[in-house]
Each structure stands twice: as structure tokens, then as C-alpha cells.
Structure 1
Amino acid sequence: MSQRQLKLNAFLMTAGHHVAAWRHPDSRADGGIRFDHFKQIAQAAERAKFDAVFFADSAAVWNGGPQQEAQSRGAQSDHFEPVTLLSALAAVTEHIGLIATVTTTYNEPYHLARKFASLDHLSNGRAGWNLVTSANAAEAFNFGLDAHVAHADRYARAEEFIDVATGLWDSWEDDAFIRDKASGVFFDPERLHVLDHQGKHFRVRGPLNVARPVQGYPVIVQAGSSEPGKELAARTAEVIFTAQLTLENAQAFYRDVKGRLAKYGRSPDELKILPGIFPVVGRTREEAQAKYKALQELIHPSVGLALLSGMLGGFDLTGYALDGPLPELPESNGGKSRQSLLIDLARRENLTIRELYLRISGARGHLTLVGTGEEIADQLQLWFENEAADGFNVMPPTLPGGLDDFIELVLPELRRRGLFRTEYEGRTLRESLGLARPVNRYTTPAAIAA
């Protein structure tokens, strides 16, 4: 029996992760804007003792390329802004973490720091921020730009952005707010610190007008697997969400990122690596395969092609034969690591354009697992015990059914093997993940010792 236990997030998307999930008879097509839908799912994940629910986001409608028809057939153009949604879910849950994706490219540090400090207080210490730099080039047009910010510039901005955000969270020491009615002193001015940041991308005076978060900082999650993304994660992230298709590639990524931590004075346990998995679970392998086949048959070709085009950097594939090979592509200014992963997959397995979009229609480049609860648990255990993962971001194919299947058929098997908790270890997301609470940079060593 393993002494360590793996970490699991429930990665939620409207009707599910499969590109045609909204068309499935058991999915809720209007789920993206129905709070009761997400309330039901979050509470189910909490009863199952998941570490967190995790939401992706984009500040623009994903169109995946030039095809307007495909845009009209997809279900990702109508959904809640995640920090707002998680603030509501905080009131109807008690233990599960609440992780929202927010881009550093089209936001300002003060706004973000204030929202996440508020969410952390509202949830009594369960907030997490998934830091991204925006893969969707269409976001630029919603913020006064004519083109997406260059990849290198996005990461340079992100490096400074997180330093400003953490500095703002340290505006107040933990005991700054006295609120002494007798003396009339609301806060101790010696425990207030003005950031006064002057940098290349930001000028932010501060202080933040919210007390220091319950967790010190929300848990910092990062989702980039490019070279700049890995370096940013090694310096700043506490959880990294990554796409890996083979055990060998996952092990190489794990060693690479964990190996970078020492130069930043960090230990390997300070960063949890959670690859995405797309599990289609059945009581028999045949049942699981039938579930997957039924979803695949719902894919409209224009939707599959648009999804692939978007993930390859917005390259227009409409002029190429669907049953021909993937053409040579220019380097993406969007998600570089995902483009590289998909091109490598197509070349390695000699996939046609159609075969490639069918392959990614559910997992979007993450690992697809189709089988029984025992078979899927075998794969998760293999990766976990061979330094390929500290846990997984679980991407249900449909909602709520796909998550219910995982809870009913996979989790009991993981628990039987001693690989997953039966109760939460604490009340905060940091306690669940085994992460230390960061010390305020202004707190003196003497004060910490006391």
C-alpha cells in the first residue's frame, strides 16, 4: 500500500469535456449558466473528497478558426465567469477547493488580487488561482488590441504580474486588524505595508483593501508546459496542470519541472504535478467503449476540425483533405506546448486530420482512458507510483454522469489500494494538498518564532 496519496481535482466544463457532450441525452445543454447544475456537481465532488473543483476560462468566445458554423455548434460560448461562480459555490460547500482560471494577459494585478483574496475569505481558505497567459488569440480583440500579445511578452508580463499579486496579498500582516472598539483602533498601522511597485508592465501602489487571505495566498496553479511556462511554474506555482499522453513523456516532464525547483530554493514537495485525464468508465470494458463510441458519433465534422484548428494555433485547416495528413504548420503564438504535442501525436501514429480531431475531441490532448474502474485505477496508480504524477485533473466526458461514473467505479478501487483519502485532512485547500502557508514577507523572524 502506498504511503502517499494522490490528489484529484474535478475539472468542470458546462455539459462535460467531450466536444459533443452537450448533445448527449444525459447531459444538460444549458448547464453553463445554471447554478443548480454546478451546485449539484460540486457537492457530489465534495462528498467524494476531491481536492478541488477546477474551472478553465477564456475572455472571448472560442471559435477554433474561421468556421462560424462550428462556433454555432459548440457549447463553450455561454458560461459563467469562474470567480463569480466559485464565490457562489463557496456558500454551498465546506471543504472542497475552488480553483479559477484567470489570465495575466488581459487583467490587472490589483483587480485579480482583490477578487481572490475575497474568494479565499468567503470560502474560509479554499481558493486557488490557475494562472494562464491566454491561448485564445480572440481575447486581444476584446481589450483594444489588433493582435494577440506575443508568447514571450505574455510570459514576461506574467512573471511580473504574480510578483505584484503576492505583494498585494502581503499588504496586511495576519494580525493587522485589531478592531478594538474600546480604543477606537481598527488596524495597527505598523502592520500595514504599501507595495509601491514600479516595473516594466505595472505601476501599483497598494495596499490591497482586503485583509490577507486565509491561506496567506490562494494556492497558485499554473497550466503552461512550454519552456517559459515550466520556468514560471518552477519559480511560482504550487500545482501544475499539464497534458501528457505517455508514461515516458509524463516522467520526463515530472523530472524536468521538479528538477528546476532547487534553484529557487524550493523542494520537490512544494509543487504538485497533476496531468489531465479523460476517463470513460463502464462496469465492463465493452460498456465503456460503447459510451465512448456514442459520444464520438455526435461530433459534427466542422466542430472537430475547428477544435483541432484552434488547438494548433488557429491555423485554417478547411482547405485540406480530412482524410489526408496534417500539413506543415507555422509555430503557434497561442499554446506552444499543446501544438507541439498534437503535431508529435499525428506524426508518431500517422494520423489523418480527421483521425486527429477524433482523437482529441474529448481530452483535447490529455490522456484518454476508456475501461473499467479497475483498469483506469491501474493506469492512475502506474503513473502515480512511477514519478509521472502527484495526482490528476479529472476531466469527465459528460456532466453529471461522467463524474458520477468516476466516483462510483474508480474511487472505491483507488481507496481499496490506499491511494486516495476517505476524509479531508483539514479545512483549507492548502491543508488538503499538503502545502505550507506562505509567510508574509514583512513579518519579522522574531514574530514568526513567537
Structure 2
Amino acid sequence: MSRSLHFFVNVGSAGYHSAAWLDPELDPSAFVTLDHYRRAAETAERGKLDALLFPDIPVQHPGIGRGPAASLDPVLLTSALAVSTTRIGLIPTVSSTLNLPYNLARRILSLDHVSGGRAGWNVVTTFEPNAAKNFGIDHLPERDERYRRAAEYVELIERLWDSWEYGALIGDQENARFADPDLVHAVEHRGEFYSVAGPLNVTRSPQGRPVLVQAGSSSRGREFAAAHAEAIYATQFGLDASGEFSTEIRSKAAALGRDPDQIRILPGLVPIVAETEHAAREKFDELQARLRPESAPVRRLASWLGFPDEEFDLDSPLPAHVLDLPSGRVGPQGFFTSLADYAALTGHTVRHLLTEFLGGHRVVIGDPAQVADHIETWWRSGSVDGFTIIPAVLPRSLEDFVDLVVPVLQERGIFRSEYSGVTLRDHLDLREPANSFASQR
């Protein structure tokens, strides 16, 4: 294959569907047990998938009375999973707004060493005001400032990760020479928002640097992704829009002097798969039926868009006025825009949209060949490099994908049967970045 197909797995709580925790096979407290996540990690590794991505918003979810939300710290959790896995990549989500750069650089690079070069970092800027208050921040900066801060933050993190050059660690026991101080560099950063001396007290990554992942799709998020991201967890509902997104990101990256072929675009996908299409639809209907009262899916869609649910007629398209981005929207803008554009383009009824949309991502329901067809069509279009699989119920939905869909993709010769390397960069076919200090010399 001239290009590879890639898969991340979004691993959150009991699963992505609101009724996931109501699965009778799942212990309601599973989302705070290591075995729950270990089983998901082992399943993904068995399927030769690229990496696990752990979402995080460090605040108590307001809907806790109706179901669990992500709670375990993703850096600590991925460190624990590094011990029981050997190949799968590990990508915690950590906010650039709520963490000091030196501490975060050290934590992520430590994870990279512990895992043998399998770490990434999903960079988010945090839009939730209540999360900020948990860190003593009364008012979050506006979106533009958050992204300006994040740009300086990421550049500083990369310099900290570069502060030890390869060859700096000598380890000459006979002559008692441990390291070459000339190859260990202070960053001496004095920027608009941050001031850090350095160097980092952790040696260079086994893969050069941990992989930078980004999940924003707003206009500012796209600019940030084009400048910094090596993998993008996006939201796309239609193939045309996905192609436009890819073209925009890669064109902007090239204009900034980056190689556009060194960016992996992996939009979210919620696969509901069974041996037959009928059985798959029954699976989805069973999940929907567990939601009480009956209008819960509609209420969730309305709440997500930011409008009262009484404005929605199940058997009519979304009203035109709800397709305009509300001024002052706090939540993700890119997710809203992707859904609104798709709804306007297709004219689907609310009832139809609810079979294709789940919490900001596209749902595909079918037998193994049908789900594989969807993946292959999008991948061959060149608009995506793969998908971020979002299991509706963990770990069962992930096991269905690995056991039913992955073999079809392997038989078609478009997905690996074995890992060809050991690091996350190996899996994603990403080059090792040059050390910025070595390049200066």
C-alpha cells in the first residue's frame, strides 16, 4: 500500500452512548476500574489498531445523576496501561489552559519512556468554565486568546522535549561520565504568556517526540491543527465536507512550511456492527430504547445544538434558524458546524439524523462488509487517513469492530495484519522530528 489506513479508539467511561452503562453485562462502576480499560486496550492491540485516545474534561459532569462520565486522570491511566500492553499507542487528553508547561512536558515524556515510545498528547484548550474554576481560574480567556496561548505552549513543550539531544546520555561507567552537558539545553523561554528556564530533566523520547494530536474543528482550531497537529481527531458527517476539511488543513500546513503528508486526519466514527444489518439495527434500537423517557435522544440533540427541544419535529428537517451558530456558543464550534452543514445539505428529518448522529459524530450501522465499505470509501477518497473509532458501549462495541470489521479490512489488503514497528510514530508512518537544538548547531 502506498498509504496506510489508521485507527485511533476513543476510550471514554462506559462507552459513547448515553445508555452504555445500562448494558446488563457491564458493572456500573467499571469506568473507575483498571480492568475495564485494560480489556479495551488489549482488544485494540489484538486488532493492530494504532492508538487509544482518552478524552478528558476535569470537572464533574452535570448529568451524573443519569450516568457516568470520564473520571480517571488520563495520564495516570495510560501509564498503568503501558505496563500491560506492548504495541498500542497511548494518547491522554490534557488541557494547555489548565496545566503548567514544564509539568505537562515532563509527564507526557515520562509516559513515552515508560511505554517505549508509544505516547501522544491530545492538545485541548478547554471551553468549560466550571473546569477552569477547579483550577482557580474565574474566567476562561476568549477562544482566540486560548489558541494564542496554546500555540506558544506547544512550541515551548516541543523545545522542552528537545532539551536533551541524542547522544547526551553517555553512560560511561568506567570513566564515570554520565552525560554530556553541552548536549543538554536550557530553553530560556520568555514569551507572551509563559516563562520557563529548563532544561527538562527527562532524556529525549524513544520516538524523537511524543505525537501531537488535536481535536478542534473551529476556524481557530483548524489554523492550530495546520500549524502543529500530527494527527487530527475531527468530526465529519459528509464525504464532500471531509474532503474540503482535508484540503484546507493540508494547504495551510504546506503554506507554513510543513509537509502536508505528515498529518493524519482521523474523524470520529461510531460503528454499530453485527453479523447482519438487521441484527446491527436491533443493537442500536436496543440502546436507544434504554434511554428514558422516549424523547431523551431528541432532548440531547436539542441541548447539544443549544435550542429548546419543542422546536424540533421528529418527522421534519431541522428548522433553518437552528443551523446558524449561536453567538457566544461555549461548546465546540466545529462539531456544531459539521452537523448543521450536513443537515442543511441532506434535508434529513430529525428522526433520520438521530440514526446517523451521536454526540457529535457519525454513526454507521450494518454488517461487517457494510461498515468496511464505508471506511474504505472514505479512505480511498483521500479525504481521511482512517477513523477514530468511538465504541457505543465499552468494551463490547470495540470487540465487535475488531472481531468483525478488522478481518474484512485485512482480507481486502488495506489494513495491517501485524505491527511493523514499536512506536506510535511507526504505526502512523510519521517521521521522527529533528531536534531543534541540534538543528541550530
Please report the TM-score for the alignment, with normalisation by the length of structure 1.
Answer: 0.90
Aligned equivalent of 1:172: 164
Aligned equivalent of 1:268: 260
1:106–1:163 CA distance, 2 compared to 1 (3 A): same
2:373 counterpart of 1:374: no
User: Any idea what the Cα deviations from partners look like across 1:268-316, whole Å, max 9, x if unmatched?
Assistant: 221011111100001111000000000011223586467446644xx47
2:145 alignment partner, one of 136, 145, 153: 153
Aligned equivalent of 2:339: 342
2:386 alignment partner, one of 369, 385, 391: 391
- DSSP 3-state at the match of 1:280: strand
CA contact (8 A) 2:336 2:360 kept: no
Instruction: Report the alpha carbon displacement of residue 330 of structure 1 after superposing the two structures with TM.
Output: 2.7
Q: How does 1:205-284 map to 2 (within 5 A)?
A: 205-284=197-276
Partner Cα distance (1:323, 1:28) in 2: 36
1:196 alignment partner, one of 183, 188, 199: 188
Bigger shift: 321-330 or 420-429?
321-330
Partner Cα distance (2:140, 2:351) in 1: 29
- DSSP 3-state at the match of 2:408: helix
User: Any idea what the Cα deviations from partners look like across 1:54-109, whole Å, max 9, x if unmatched?
Assistant: 1111111233xxxxxx4410211x52111100000000110110011111111111
Aligned equivalent of 2:427: 432
Q: Which amino acid aligns with 1:4?
A: R
CA contact (8 A) 1:220 1:239 kept: yes
* Superposition RMSD in Å: 2.3
Q: Which amino acid aligns with 1:421?
A: R
- DSSP 3-state at the match of 2:369: helix
Partner Cα distance (1:338, 1:127) in 2: 26
1:140–1:182 CA distance, 2 compared to 1 (3 A): same
CA contact (8 A) 1:274 1:389 kept: yes
2:67 alignment partner, one of 74, 79, 87: 74
CA contact (8 A) 1:245 1:365 kept: no
CA contact (8 A) 2:128 2:330 kept: no
Instruction: Report the alpha carbon displacement of residue 262 of structure 1 after superposing the two structures with TM.
Output: 1.3
- DSSP 3-state at the match of 1:295: helix
Instruction: Report the alpha carbon displacement of residue 265 of structure 1 after superposing the two structures with TM.
Output: 1.8
- DSSP 3-state at the match of 1:367: strand
Q: Which amino acid aligns with 2:44?
A: A
CA contact (8 A) 1:277 1:363 kept: no
1:307–1:146 CA distance, 2 compared to 1 (3 A): farther
Q: Which amino acid aligns with 2:433?
A: P
CA contact (8 A) 1:305 1:357 kept: no
2:288 counterpart of 1:296: yes
CA contact (8 A) 2:288 2:297 kept: no
Partner Cα distance (1:95, 1:53) in 2: 11
CA contact (8 A) 1:83 1:115 kept: yes
1:203–1:357 CA distance, 2 compared to 1 (3 A): farther
Q: How does 1:16-55 map to 2 (within 5 A)?
A: 16-55=15-54
4+ aligned runs moved over 6 Å, structure 1: none
CA contact (8 A) 1:281 1:372 kept: yes
Bigger shift: 324-333 or 212-221?
324-333
Unaligned runs of at least 5 residues, structure 1: 64-69
1:376–1:26 CA distance, 2 compared to 1 (3 A): same
Partner Cα distance (2:165, 2:82) in 1: 24
User: Any idea what the Cα deviations from partners look like across 1:4-58, whole Å, max 9, x if unmatched?
Assistant: 3300112111211112111122334222111011111101111110111111111
1:241–1:202 CA distance, 2 compared to 1 (3 A): same
CA contact (8 A) 1:28 1:399 kept: no
- Number of aligned pairs? 433
- DSSP 3-state at the match of 2:84: coil
Partner Cα distance (1:144, 1:79) in 2: 19
CA contact (8 A) 1:332 1:339 kept: no
Instruction: Report the alpha carbon displacement of residue 264 of structure 1 after superposing the two structures with TM.
Output: 2.2
CA contact (8 A) 2:123 2:213 kept: yes
Instruction: Report the alpha carbon displacement of residue 368 of structure 1 after superposing the two structures with TM.
Output: 0.7
1:274–1:296 CA distance, 2 compared to 1 (3 A): same
Partner Cα distance (2:300, 2:184) in 1: 48
Partner Cα distance (2:30, 2:410) in 1: 30
1:101–1:175 CA distance, 2 compared to 1 (3 A): same
2:131 counterpart of 1:139: yes
Partner Cα distance (2:336, 2:328) in 1: 8
Q: Which amino acid aligns with 2:335?
A: R
1:160–1:359 CA distance, 2 compared to 1 (3 A): farther
Instruction: Report the alpha carbon displacement of residue 444 of structure 1 after superposing the two structures with TM.
Output: 4.9
Partner Cα distance (2:94, 2:257) in 1: 26
CA contact (8 A) 1:171 1:212 kept: yes
Aligned equivalent of 1:67: none
CA contact (8 A) 2:237 2:339 kept: no
Instruction: Report the alpha carbon displacement of residue 124 of structure 1 after superposing the two structures with TM.
Output: 0.5
Partner Cα distance (2:258, 2:329) in 1: 32
Partner Cα distance (1:158, 1:206) in 2: 19
1:97–1:282 CA distance, 2 compared to 1 (3 A): same
1:437–1:96 CA distance, 2 compared to 1 (3 A): same
Instruction: Report the alpha carbon displacement of residue 209 of structure 1 after superposing the two structures with TM.
Output: 1.3
Aligned equivalent of 1:66: none
